[in-house]
A and B are shown apart, each in its own frame.
Chain A
């Protein structure tokens, strides 16, 4: 009784403290921050729904005195035919094609590696573990130049061609992007999943082994269900990271409609047509719709990933 009562008291106390805080304008401060944080996005969203000439001549706040709606900007930015329009539909497809394998591959490979590092007793395990964790230090900038030349020129040691160039053209260039994203995701993925997997009770593993289960079966029947939340957290993380990435795509996917994702397209539009606000505003939302949906649907997992130490970049 005392425990529950104590907690209720504490909650009441906290509420009282907060009320005292709010008395001094804390509520106002919170609202000010919230408004500051949402207004820029709201302004952009509203603008994307206004006709072109209005976006360029008046501020979005005039919408309230003179409301005029149109979806023309979205039609233009997605499907427009003129060279200055976004043609984002094709880039959206590229983003999907880039993202799906770039999430699945590191997820699977990190699961295997984390399982081996957490539950298989073999010599040198601790060294590999430390090594993989340490790789989190390496900024992906360290890998960009040589990795690109690995794909485009192959490996040459002292003038001897050891590995041929991959020479990927057209849609095959997606392979480069997948590989790059997978490599860069593995240190964090192994780290997160290892942390979760090593918490699985040893008796469960022992029991399964006594029953004669092989590793494949243990992975499927014990590890996957128990590490589900961790996998989801890492999956959501990696999805948002890959979808929103600009640097890796710029380098490995190039800038054409053949392989470049929406972020690259949006960056191009911001660079060359910095004042075509009707397309920039709608383009920004086109690029954000899918990550926003995933984010809202899986916020719980994302937060869990954040709290477990996963950070984009």
Chain B
């Protein structure tokens, strides 16, 4: 046993400092804003209330994003201009192309799969007796970290040489139907699909919750009318349910696309990007923080930004409507 409470004390002290800083900021803003008389125009109040957030956004997000864009046109150490070299690297080198190809596979697979599983499940459990419990079962993976989920699935995919007893569920199933155990995560190109399965497993609960809320919002009269007209369950689903929840389906597809583009943790925990499984966010981390190739990392981050932008714009416009 080796847990020394004394060793933890500096951390707890730091936590106290952090909470105290939080209280000071809140108190300072409130005091300042109450100092300015209400009759005056609104901008002094607005300045005080907005200043902390805008300052942090400027220093922590806007300025870094601009700097990253500049860095993407510079050499690895950030000392000399490299023109488009980093982008040329990204689109010509085989190892980088693998990363781009994988990202495309992820984005093509994860959103539709997550949405379909979530939709099917939401329809199946809608208005059943165990609905709340049934939804929670799918929803739980959202509470654990992607790292934790990665561990869960590495265990499912665990491999033991042929002849030994398997400890991974998937290989056990394969062996029990007479197949050979395989190293699922080490054989490209299929290993990416096994990683995709993990992401679908994590995110399906999100789709279930959003879509089942949308299904509940369909007016009962419409369902009733369709039923009186003699619609079959299949017709009911495709002609009534699906059109009525179109916007919710779009929300799920869009948010999943964004999340999948930025995906990092699952790949890092399960394969570390080896065996041809790398994706953009993962490669960006490796280039910038492990190999010191800041320029390439920055270029990958910019690519991520460019890919995410149209999706988010679509989402925001949809929400505004």
CB-defined interface of B224-246 with A at 8 Å, one 1/0 digit per residue? 10010000010010000000000
CB-defined interface of A100-127 with B at 8 Å, one 1/0 digit per residue? 1100110011101101110011110100
A29–B42 CB distance below 8 A: no
Whether a CB of chain A sits under 8 angstroms from the CB of B106 is no
B147–A113 CB distance below 8 A: no
Residue in A closest to B14 when the chains form the complex, CB atoms: A171
B61–A280 CB distance below 8 A: no
A296→B22 CA distance, assembly (Å): 27
Given contacts A16-B227, A306-B210, contact A143 B1 (CB under 8 A): no
Q: Measured between C-beta atoms, what is the minimum distance from B104 to chain A in Å?
A: 17
Which B residues from 1 to 52 make CB contacts under 8 A with A? Answer: 1-3, 7-8, 10-15, 18-19, 21-22, 25-26, 29-31, 33-34, 38, 41-43, 45-46, 49-50, 52
Q: Measured between C-beta atoms, what is the minimum distance from B29 to chain A in Å?
A: 6
The secondary structure that dominates the B interface is: helix
Please indicate which of the listed interface residues A58, A59, A178, A266 has the most CB atoms of chain B within 10 Å of its own CB.
A59
B60–A184 CB distance below 8 A: yes
A303–B268 CB distance below 8 A: no
**Chain A residues positioned under 8 Å from B312 (CB to CB):** 136-137
B59–A150 CB distance below 8 A: yes
**Chain B residues positioned under 8 Å from A303 (CB to CB):** 209, 213
A313–B268 CB distance below 8 A: no
Whether a CB of chain A sits under 8 angstroms from the CB of B308 is yes
A150→B7 CA distance, assembly (Å): 29
A162→B168 CA distance, assembly (Å): 56
Which of these binds chain B: A75-83, A198-206, A225-233? A75-83
Whether a CB of chain A sits under 8 angstroms from the CB of B153 is yes
Q: Measured between C-beta atoms, what is the minimum distance from A129 to chain B in Å?
A: 10
A141→B281 CA distance, assembly (Å): 7
Which of these binds chain A: B92-100, B187-195, B254-262? B254-262
A216→B45 CA distance, assembly (Å): 10
CB-defined interface of A1-41 with B at 8 Å, one 1/0 digit per residue? 00000110111011111101100101101100110011111
Given contacts A117-B50, A135-B61, A144-B288, contact A6 B128 (CB under 8 A): no
From A15, A30, A138, A288, B143 is in contact (CB under 8 Å) with A288
**Chain A residues positioned under 8 Å from B302 (CB to CB):** 142
**Chain B residues positioned under 8 Å from A183 (CB to CB):** 56-57, 59-61
* Interface residue count on the B side (C-beta < 8 Å): 130
A93→B12 CA distance, assembly (Å): 8
A47→B29 CA distance, assembly (Å): 51
Given contacts A146-B63, A299-B136, contact A57 B45 (CB under 8 A): no
Q: Measured between C-beta atoms, what is the minimum distance from B9 to chain A in Å?
A: 9
Whether a CB of chain A sits under 8 angstroms from the CB of B145 is yes
Whether a CB of chain A sits under 8 angstroms from the CB of B85 is no
Whether a CB of chain A sits under 8 angstroms from the CB of B184 is no
B308–A139 CB distance below 8 A: yes
A93–B68 CB distance below 8 A: no
Q: Measured between C-beta atoms, what is the minimum distance from B120 to chain A in Å?
A: 7
A123→B288 CA distance, assembly (Å): 41
A171–B304 CB distance below 8 A: no
From A59, A113, A142, A307, B169 is in contact (CB under 8 Å) with A59
A142→B68 CA distance, assembly (Å): 6
Given contacts A44-B155, A135-B62, contact A26 B167 (CB under 8 A): no
CB-defined interface of A43-81 with B at 8 Å, one 1/0 digit per residue? 110010000000111111100000000000001001111
Q: Measured between C-beta atoms, what is the minimum distance from A139 to chain B in Å?
A: 5
A186–B223 CB distance below 8 A: no
CB-defined interface of B45-88 with A at 8 Å, one 1/0 digit per residue? 11001101110110111111101110100000000000000000
A215–B33 CB distance below 8 A: yes
A215–B67 CB distance below 8 A: no
Given contacts A15-B127, A47-B155, A209-B38, contact A267 B15 (CB under 8 A): no
Extra A-B contacts (9), CB below 8 Å, given A13-B227, A140-B262, A143-B60: A30-B134, A120-B42, A145-B67, A145-B294, A175-B18, A183-B59, A215-B33, A215-B34, A295-B140
Instruction: Name 7 interchain pairs, CB-CB below 8 A, sorted by A.
Output: A37-B138, A37-B141, A144-B64, A215-B34, A245-B145, A247-B281, A309-B251
- Show the binding face of A for B, using Cβ within 8 Å: 6-7, 9-11, 13-18, 20-21, 24, 26-27, 29-30, 33-34, 37-41, 43-44, 47, 55-61, 75, 78-81, 87, 89-90, 93-94, 96-97, 100-101, 104-105, 108-110, 112-113, 115-117, 120-123, 125, 128, 132-133, 135-147, 150, 170-172, 174-175, 178-180, 182-184, 186-187, 190, 209, 212, 214-217, 219, 240, 243-247, 250-251, 258-259, 263, 266-267, 270-271, 274, 277, 280-281, 283-284, 287-288, 291-292, 294-296, 299, 303, 306-307, 309, 311-313
